[in-house]
Amino acid sequence: MQLALYRYSLPFRQPLMFKRERLANREGLLVSINGQWGEIAPLPGFSTETLAEAEAESLACLAALSRGEIVSPTLPSVQFGFDCVQRSWPLNLPEPLPPYPLLQGAPAALIQSLSTTDWQASLPSRLKLKVARHAMEEELALIEQLAARLPTTKLILDANGGWTREDAQRFCERLPLKQIDYLEEPCAAFADTIAVAEATGVAIALDETLSRREEWYCHPQLKALVIKPTLIGSLSDCEALVQRARAGNLRVVVSSSFESDLGLVQLARLASEWAPDEPPGLDTGHWLAGRVTNLAGEVMTENVHCLSKMENLA
């Protein structure tokens, strides 16, 4: 058994903010077992573990595997990477649907870019916008512009739990609800999110609630589960959420956590398997100014830092 762990660092095209943390590079790990790969990339501000903690657990797991032991990682990003690297991927999956575009940045700059963006060639059916990051009036003005310029496009809004119940309600009362597909996690507490949905009629989706493994229940205003495997962890836990979504007639959206091109390809395959009719939330790759794989999909090991190489000694 050939075992290896590598570390990568890819620059963002421009620094991005993650929960008030400014990042210029995306850093993560690539684990290899007998030529199959997995990605381990905790997202600062969202993952509970640090990259250093993920690296330590990954090295310990590989050492245990080299001794012929069975490993059970405990950190979500490590669980995801090791599950992918040891997975028997289904054959003949349908071609993944193209992801919907993600808009991120200051509202004024985005409004200015709207005038130069040629959407007319192919209007997106859905568009995702991060909210609860700038002044409410500016974000509402941007949404008004988007709704006017893209009348057939449904808007997905993602607040990352950034509002109080009162602020979320004030925001939602001024939304063009007919054009809003759903609002992800307006508040940090599920009870507050439900209260906002009931008060305003906005459709909602859950994201952080799932990765934090908090209690939730189906509600008429709950439309979708946004599943981020890097943050949730084991693929079996993700699959349990997919089954629960199907039982509750909820949409499933497989979403990224700014993984490298390797991770995005694997997430697209999971989206094809779990939600073949739902465009995934995987439009993050263009924020990265580098790749870890070549055009054939092979990891360019010469461009990443080798942390460990070992063989099964058992």
Please give the annotated binding residues for Mg(2+), written as ranges: 158, 184, 207
Longest dimension (CA), the chain: 65
Rounded to 5 degrees, φ, ψ at 107 are -55, -45
Tokens matching residue 118: 């040629």
Say if residues 65 and 1 touch (Cβ distance below 8 Å).
yes
Measured CA to CA in angstroms, residue 236 lies from 44, 102, 205 at distances of 24, 28, 21
Q: Report how far residue 231's alpha carbon sits from residue 46's, in angstroms, rounded to the nearest whole number.
A: 7
Q: Report how far residue 117's alpha carbon sits from residue 67's, in angstroms, rounded to the nearest whole number.
A: 55
Say if residues 233 and 79 touch (Cβ distance below 8 Å).
yes
Task: Give binding residues as ranges.
Answer: 158, 184, 207
Say if residues 49 and 77 touch (Cβ distance below 8 Å).
yes
Is 130 catalytic? The answer is yes
Tokens matching residue 134: 């700038």
For tokens 């995702």, the residue is 128
The catalytically annotated residue of 130, 154, 178, 223 is 130
Residues 6+ away with beta carbon under 8 Å from 131: 139, 143, 157, 158, 159, 162, 171, 183
Q: Report how far residue 258's alpha carbon sits from residue 12's, in angstroms, rounded to the nearest whole number.
A: 10
**Stated length of the chain:** 314
Q: Report how far residue 46's alpha carbon sits from residue 257's, in angstroms, rounded to the nearest whole number.
A: 9
Is 128 catalytic? The answer is no
The catalytically annotated residue of 19, 128, 154, 228 is 228
Say if residues 211 and 160 touch (Cβ distance below 8 Å).
no
The side-by-side arrangement of strands in the sheet containing 126-130 is 102-103, 126-130, 154-158, 180-184, 204-206, 222-227, 251-254
Q: Which of 136, 193, 191 is nearest to 161 (CA)?
A: 193
- By annotation, the residues acting in catalysis are 130, 228
